[in-house]
Amino acid sequence: MAACVPPGAATLAGAKLDALRAWPMFPRLPAAAQNFLQPLQDARSLLLVFNGAEILLIAQGRFREAAPGATLIGSSLMLSGAPALIQAALAQRRSGNPGSRDLLAEASAVAAGHAAWIASRGNVHLPLSGDAENLNRFLRMAQFAALGLRVEPPMQLDFTARCPTVEAASHLEETLRAFLSLTAAGVARQKELAAMLRAAEVRRDGSTVQASLTASEDAMPQLFNFFAR
């Protein structure tokens, strides 16, 4: 899948679908996520490539036929998206030289140990809405940022941001702490979610900021609904 990532990638997002499907919380994912994954029953892994304007979907598995508008490479790889992006991915794969090496390195680091993840450059505006749009605030302060979900107990969200300077990292750390504190106060009636946000760990090492948030089975659906609203 990485060989198909064309130059100009701004954000990569991936999922180990076998691990997600075996997760007890999988049936409680938001309806939008369920509807998105339903046509990918034959896929084992998924990689989304965002170039700032369009999305390319790369799926790996055992496919009997291509989905409408998609392109199969053999029987194990399927590409879906704008025709120009599919052609760019095919050309990149033929070249044998991975594109977007720096972003792929960040993606490889967060993909290890996480069933679902996202890695992004800091100069991109992700097409998010609602409370999830806050992620763009943090991206503007970083060169690269990554978010990963661990599904084995205890379930955990891990966030890492690499900033251009120590000062930028310090500002991001303060902004993240304030966001968690204010959000916990705003969802005080959802006791499990509020407690999870208050217990989040935020730390900084030079120009790198990291945060981790451990979730209980009761709090995870509330967290899904919070970001989906």
CATH number at residue 136: 3.30.1360
User: Is 10 found in the same domain as 79?
Assistant: yes
The number of folded domains in the chain is 2
CB 160 within 8 A of CB 169: no
Give percent above pLDDT 90 in the chain.
59
H-run or E-run covering 20: helix 17-22
H-run or E-run covering 162: strand 155-162
User: Does residue 77 surpass a pLDDT of 90?
Assistant: yes
User: Is 92 found in the same domain as 146?
Assistant: no
User: Is 201 found in the same domain as 142?
Assistant: yes
User: Is 60 found in the same domain as 134?
Assistant: no
User: Is 183 found in the same domain as 137?
Assistant: yes
Domain assignment present for 17: yes
Strand partners, 158: 148, 212
User: Is 221 found in the same domain as 162?
Assistant: yes
User: Is 55 found in the same domain as 24?
Assistant: yes
User: Is 143 found in the same domain as 51?
Assistant: no
User: Does residue 228 surpass a pLDDT of 70?
Assistant: no
User: Is 148 found in the same domain as 79?
Assistant: no
Domain assignment present for 114: no
Domain assignment present for 143: yes
**Domain end (from 64, 99, 134):** 99
Question: pLDDT tier at 149 (50, 70, 90 boundaries)?
Answer: very high
Domain assignment present for 113: no
Q: Hey, what are 21's tokens?
A: 């499907």
Domain assignment present for 87: yes
**Domain end (from 68, 99, 130):** 99
Please give the pLDDT value at position 220: 78
User: Is 91 found in the same domain as 139?
Assistant: no
Using one digit for the tens of pLDDT, what is the confidence trace for 87-131? 999 999 998 777 688 999 999 999 998 999 999 999 888 887 777
Residues of the domain holding 172:
122-229
Question: Strands (DSSP E) along 166-207, which ranges?
Answer: 201-205
Using one digit for the tens of pLDDT, what is the confidence trace for 13-26? 999 999 999 998 88
- For 85-106, give the DSSP string: HHHHHHHHHHHTS-SSHHHHHH
Please give the pLDDT value at position 171: 96
User: Is 154 found in the same domain as 214?
Assistant: yes
Domain assignment present for 12: yes
Using one digit for the tens of pLDDT, what is the confidence trace for 37-70? 888 888 999 999 999 999 999 999 999 888 888 8
User: Is 126 found in the same domain as 74?
Assistant: no
User: Does residue 31 surpass a pLDDT of 70?
Assistant: yes
